[in-house]
Amino acid sequence: MANLPKRIIKETQRLTEEPVPGINAVPHEDNLRYFDVSIHGPSQSPYEGGIFRLELFLPEDYPMCPPKIRFLTKIYHPNIDRLGRICLDVLKSNWSPALQIRTILLSIQALLGAPNPDDPLANDVAQKWKEDEKTAIETARQWTRTHAMS
C-alpha cells in the first residue's frame, strides 16, 4: 500500500463506493494492482445474460501506460481471441492517462454490444461474422449459455 500511487487508491475507493452498473472490479488483498473483474453481457446483444470474468493488472507506470486486461471466460467475439486477449484501441495506441479502470471496463462492455469484424483479432470468428452474421450471433449466444451462465 505504501508504494501504491494515490491515483490507484482513489480509483479503487471509487469503484467500491460508486460501482458502475453491470461491472464489478475487486483488487486482490495481496496485490492491490491485480483486479478480479466481471462484466455483465449488454442487453440486446448475443452476450445478454452472461457474466464474463476478466483479469486486470495495473503496470508499474500506470497511468502513463494502459492496464493489462484479458478475458478469463471463453467468448465468441471477433475482437477477442481464444486466449481472451482484447483488440481495443484504447488499450493500445489510443491509451490516455486521463482514462481510468472504470472507463476502460465500460469500453469493453460497449465492445461486446458492438463487435467490429473489420478490425479482427480472432480471424476465423470475424470471417464467420462477415459471411453469415446470423449463424455467428447464434454461436455467440450458444457460447454465452455454455460458458458464461454457470
Partner 1 sequence: MTSATSPNPAPVFDIRALTYVTHVDDNLCCPICQSPLVEPFTTSCRHTFCSECITNALKASKTCPVDRTPLDTKNINMAPVVLANLVNDLTVLCPNHRDGLGCTATLPRGNVEGHLKEDCLYVTVACPGCEEKIMRKDLQDDVCVHVEEECSYCSGMHRKLDMKEHETVCPGLTTPCKFCGNECPRPQIPNHEAICDEAIVSCDAASVGCPWHGLRKESTDHSTSCPLMHIRPLLEENNSRLANLEHENKLLRRRLELSLVARAQTDIAESMDDQTIRVLTEQEHIRSDLERLYVSMQEMDIKQNMLSMHMSDNMRTKEEVAMIGAAVNNLRTQLHGLQLLMFRRQGLDQNGSGGARPTGASSQAGDNSVLGHARRMSDMPSGDRVKL
Q: Is 96 in the site for partner 1 (CB under 8 A)?
A: yes
Active-site residue list = 87
Q: Is the dihedral of CA 80, 86, 89, 92 positive or negative?
A: negative
Minimum Å gap between C-beta 129 and partner 1 is 28
| DSSP code string of 113-134 | HS--TTS-SSHHHHHHHHH-HH
Nearer to partner 1, 1 or 83 (CB): 1
**3-class secondary structure, 5:** coil
Nearer to partner 1, 7 or 145 (CB): 7
For residue 59, cis peptide bond before it (omega within 30 degrees of 0): no
Which stretch of DSSP H or E encloses residue 110? helix 101-113
Binding mask 17-56 for partner 1 (x = CB under 8 A): ----------------------------------------
Q: Are 73 and 61 in contact (CB under 8 A)?
A: no
Segment contacting partner 1 by CB under 8 A, of 38-46, 79-87, 90-98, 116-124 = 90-98
Q: Is 59 in the site for partner 1 (CB under 8 A)?
A: no
Interface residues with partner 1 (CB under 8 A)?
Answer: 5-7, 10-11, 61, 63-65, 94-98, 100
